[in-house]
Structures are given as C-alpha cells and as structure tokens.
Amino acid sequence: MHAVTPQAFRLTRGADLKLSILDAIKYHNIPAGCVASVVGCLSRLVIRTADGKSTIDIHEDVEIISVSGTLTPDHVHLHIAVANKQGEMVGGHLMEGSIVSHTAEVCLFSFPNMSFTREFDGGTGYTELVVGKQ
C-alpha cells in the first residue's frame, strides 16, 4: 500500500467548498488526510475567527490564496485565506456556506496506513485530532 495517495477534483459554481471536500473524503474512503492545495474563487465566504465564536460572512468575489487542514472520515478541519479585488486578505476557520463562484481546483493527500479521528478535549473545548495506524 502506498504511503500517500493523491486525490484531485474540480468544483464548479454553486458548490459548498467545505461540504464538497467532506463528500470527497467519504467517496474516496479516506481514513486520514490533508489538503495539498486549493485554487479558485468564492462568491461567499463564511469563516470563524480566532476567538472560536465569532463568524465573518462575506458576500463578494474573493480569490482563494490558501487552504490547509486535516481530513478525517467524518470531519474536516480547514483554514482558509482569501483576497478581495483590492488584494486585501482575510482568513480563518472555513465554515459551511462558503460557495464556489467559478471554479475550485482541489488536491488532497490520503494516508492509507493511518487513521485520523477526533475526540473531545476538555482543555480546549473542541474535538481534537487523534492519530492512529491502520
């Protein structure tokens, strides 16, 4: 079995970026993975900010600069940075409702010899990554 298996696909106008990545994980049966790259544009961006509570909802065309994150079979933990037409950047924790405007080219890495799950951590108040072997 390979140590890393790549997956790539293109999303079109109207796709929810976060939900589409989660659908791809389920479709390809990815037990553990990460985002290699995402290139494209969004017409709506919904992010949670660093305080862990506040959200920003932007309804304008933005260019995806970077997406990174870990992928488990039932959960994606993704961070995104985007730029508006003035080149101003904003970023945070990617939320559902972030909609592709034209295209998004998504490349993922799957780690078939590993398993990623999430368990609640009372210290952080969030479900945190647990790394295991397949």
Examine the pLDDT at 129 and tell me if it is beyond 90: yes
- Going by the DSSP 8-state scheme, the letter that residue 49 receives in this structure is -
Q: Phi then psi for 124, rounded to 5 degrees?
A: -105, -25
Examine the pLDDT at 2 and tell me if it is beyond 70: no
Examine the pLDDT at 61 and tell me if it is beyond 90: yes
Q: Phi then psi for 86, rounded to 5 degrees?
A: -90, -5
Sorting pLDDT into bands at 50, 70 and 90, what band is 1?
low
Using CA atoms, how far apart are residues 75 and 12, in angstroms rounded to an integer?
22
Instruction: Give the DSSP H/E element, type plus range, for residue 24.
Output: helix 17-27
